[in-house]
Structures are given as C-alpha cells and as structure tokens.
C-alpha cells in the first residue's frame, strides 16, 4: 500500500494567515490604547467646579466625621484635599514636601486634608509616625471603600484639589508634585490673594 503524502499549504494561504494574525493583534492594541486614552482623558479633565458633599471618618475615631460642612472649621480660607495611600510609592515620596508646603501656609489659614483611600488604619498610623507630630493645619481621614474617588473624580493617587472657603475649585494637581519649588508657593499666594475679590479660574497641573 502506498500512503499519499500531505500537500503543503500554498504560500498564499500562509500569507493570509499571517496577515490575519497581524490584523487581530493590531485591532486588540487599538482597543487597549483607546481604553488607556479614555482613562487618561478622565483623569485630566474630570474636575469639580466646587467642593462636593462628602462624609469621611477621621483616622482618630474620637474626632468623628469630616464632611463638606465642617471642613473649613477653624477659620480656614482654603483647603487642600490630598488623595494618597500607604500602598502608593509616589505618595510616600511626595508627602514630606507636601507637609512642609502646607505648614508654610498655616498663618494664611490654609488647611490640608490627607485623604487616604482603600488603605488600612494601622498602616496609615504607622506610616505617619515617621513624621512625628503633623502640622496643626493638617488632618487625616480614611475612606476605606474609596468612594470619595468617584465623588471627586479622582482616577489615581496622588492627586490634590485646592478649594476656596466658598467651595469653589481653585486648582487640581494630578500626580506627584515638586512642592518645594518656589513656583508652588507663588501660585498659592496668588490664589489666596484672589479670594477677597473675583475668583480666579481653576486649572489642572500635571507632573
């Protein structure tokens, strides 16, 4: 008996299969790229025009709840809401300079809310102990479920919002910032000087 030898696939068939694989890979890449671009677009353009309603417990439970009604208590003229987490390496690197920046504006009645998201109370307290006593104008809250990220329009941390006492958004800082740079202090002084008159429009700063 003779066994018929299998005929090889023609070259045109092989080329067609290669083209199909390349096309499929390219289509998948385009879809994934669009997903990333959509996320980035949301990150850079979702910005609040005013402080939203929120309620978040203080890390020190005896202090109760921080909310949109009491966040300016103490005569503060502006509040920085700083999203972060102990699990975020850029947050860890940025925090010392941010705390120094906020403390330098204590006399100008600027307050910072360190808003930890999706974290652990024990880890937060342990992490913050390395800084000793926090500045008087800094408070710490913890949103374990992370719902505040949706409320504020935050996609990833670190991210910081600056709000005026009347609730208007003055600025949004996307990503870690070089808080020790003099330009940040100059811009903060400009925002504070504008509070007595016409509100300056908000902007987005990314790094």
- pTM (2 decimals)? 0.74
Q: 51 and 163 in contact (C-beta within 8 Å)?
A: yes
> The tokens 């670190």 sit on which residue?
158
List, in order, residues 6 or more apart from 3 with CB less than 8 Å away: none
The listed CATH number (3.30.390.10, 3.40.30.10, 1.20.80.10, 3.40.50.720) that belongs to domain 55-206:
3.40.30.10
Predicted confidence pLDDT, tens digits, the chain (207 residues): 555 555 666 667 667 777 777 676 666 555 444 443 443 343 444 468 999 999 999 999 999 999 999 999 999 999 999 999 999 999 999 999 999 999 999 999 999 999 999 999 999 999 999 999 999 999 999 999 999 999 999 989 999 999 999 999 999 999 999 999 999 999 999 999 988 654 455 555 655
Distance (Å) of CA 126 to CA 68, 120, 139, 141: 27, 10, 16, 14
């Amino acid at each position: 008996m003779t066994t018929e030898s299998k005929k090889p696939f023609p070259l045109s068939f092989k080329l067609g299969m290669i083209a199909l694989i390349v096309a499929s890979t390219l289509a998948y890449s385009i879809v994934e790229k669009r997903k990333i671009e959509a996320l980035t677009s949301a990150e850079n353009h979702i910005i609040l025009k005013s402080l939203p309603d929120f309620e978040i417990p203080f890390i020190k439970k005896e202090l109760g709840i921080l909310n949109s009604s009491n966040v300016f208590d103490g005569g503060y003229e502006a509040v920085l809401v700083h999203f972060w987490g102990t699990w975020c390496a850029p947050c860890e690197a940025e925090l010392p300079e941010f705390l120094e920046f906020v403390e330098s504006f204590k006399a100008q009645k600027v307050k910072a809310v360190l808003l930890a998201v999706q974290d652990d109370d024990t880890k937060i307290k342990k992490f913050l102990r390395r800084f000793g006593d926090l500045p008087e104008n800094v408070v710490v809250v913890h949103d374990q479920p992370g719902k505040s990220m949706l409320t504020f329009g935050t996609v990833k941390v670190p991210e910081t919002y600056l709000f005026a006492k009347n609730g208007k958004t003055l600025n949004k800082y996307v990503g870690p910032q070089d808080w020790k740079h003099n330009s940040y202090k100059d811009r903060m002084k400009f925002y504070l000087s504008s509070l007595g008159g016409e509100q300056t429009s908000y902007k987005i700063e990314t790094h």
